[in-house]
Amino acid sequence: MKEGDTRAPLILGVVLTLLLLTFSVVLLRVYTRAMLLKQFGADDIWAVLSMASIASCAFSILLGIKYGFGRHQVFLTEEESRNYFKVFYVSIILYLVSLGAIKTTLLCQYYRAFAINKMRTVLLVAIVFVSAWSISQIFLNIFICTPIAAFWDRAVEGKCIPRNPTWYITAAGNIATDIMIIVLPFPVVIKLNLARRQRFVLLGVFCVGFLTCAISMIRMGYLDIKEDLTWVNVESACWSFTELCCGLLCACVPTLRPFVSRYFPSMSSYNRSRKTYATNQPPEPHTANRYHEIELQNGRHIQEDLLQDNSRSTRILCVSEFTVTETRELVNKKHGERESDDEVLLVSHVFADPRPIEKARTRPGRLPATD
């Protein structure tokens, strides 16, 4: 242990690299949704708020270096120690705010993608539950000491809840809610009438979120800090910031496919899938026509002329920036009766079509392969 020892380069490298990467991806998301698709929604607003909160958290971590973060606490002056714990206190609150915003981003993104009544009801309940949990943890950590100044000033007499047990409870609850958010779409995705490989690929998109859970679990191993906090807490801070950035990246990367399809078409199989489907679709008999009007997120409508059996089968369209929706109360033209149908459709679009109405004809059978 030397007075000149510092871990500031490690902190700077981790925080600045992840901050730049995450900011770039969020910026691409905003461009894709606002400029290409013209569909800037609630989930995008939450993504921007999450980015702002993460940037604030990064600033508080970097500001801590000025007051001794990354150095041995024994060599800090009383004023440096007090100022560091003030910054540390703020960084904890911003970390929890960022986590709550990221979880809300993912749930709003699910709500936008899954236009199914039952699923949306479940998602609304999940949003309320996650919001309540996040708010409770934020207030618990705000008032962890009474008075609050007792957290950073030893001269202030007060009572504090033990920090380590509180941090462990918060971390365990966040991991549990992360897992809940990841598995929510599984029942709907499994029921989609996709080839096995395509279904696994789609499930894999959602399973990427388990990486964030893994980082959260690794972070828990660094929470038991008993002494020399300004030196030992470097690992915990780096893993905490990595957890935030990874969570927001997992939410934003899937939204960039329209951007890739537009500017890097060779990296996407969208056009290739359309050509394959158009040339290889086998002719099959049909008994009735029915039209499905599906409202996409940007307000435009696509009228689908589906030629298929009267059976209640599931029809899947190409996966890109996708929406899963269901049609109900379909008209049985043959018998002149209304029947309830739980048909699920996966609708994709690469970028906004200038035409408000587009008519497409498909036949029953296997639909185009997707990535």
What are the tens digits of pLDDT across the range 262-276? 998 887 654 555 444
Residue 243 or residue 338, greater confidence: 243
Kindly list the domain boundaries of the chain, sorted by start residue. Answer: 8-261, 269-362
What is the tens place of the pLDDT at every residue in 146-173? 999 999 998 888 899 998 899 999 999 9
Q: What is the mean pLDDT of the chain?
A: 78
| HEC readout, the chain | CCCCCCCHHHHHHHHHHHHHHHHHHHHHHHHHHHHHCCCCCHHHHHHHHHHHHHHHHHHHHHHHHHCCCCCCHHHCCHHHHHHHHHHHHHHHHHHHHHHHHHHHHHHHHHHHHEECHHHHHHHHHHHHHHHHHHHHHHHHHHCCEECHHHHCCCCCCCEECCHHHHHHHHHHHHHHHHHHHHHCCHHHHHHCCCCHHHHHHHHHHHHCCHHHHHHHHHHHCCCCCCCCHHHHHHHHHHHHHHHHHHHHHHHHHHHHHHHHHHHCHHHCCHHHHHHHHHHHCCCCCCCEEEEEEEECCCCCEEEEEEEECCCCCCCCCCCCEEEEEEECCEEECCCCEEECCCEEEEEEECCCCCCCEEEEEECCCCCCCCC
Place 139 in a pLDDT band, splitting at 50, 70 and 90. very high
CATH number of 8-261: 1.20.1070
pTM of the model: 0.76
Residue-level pLDDT at 267 = 73
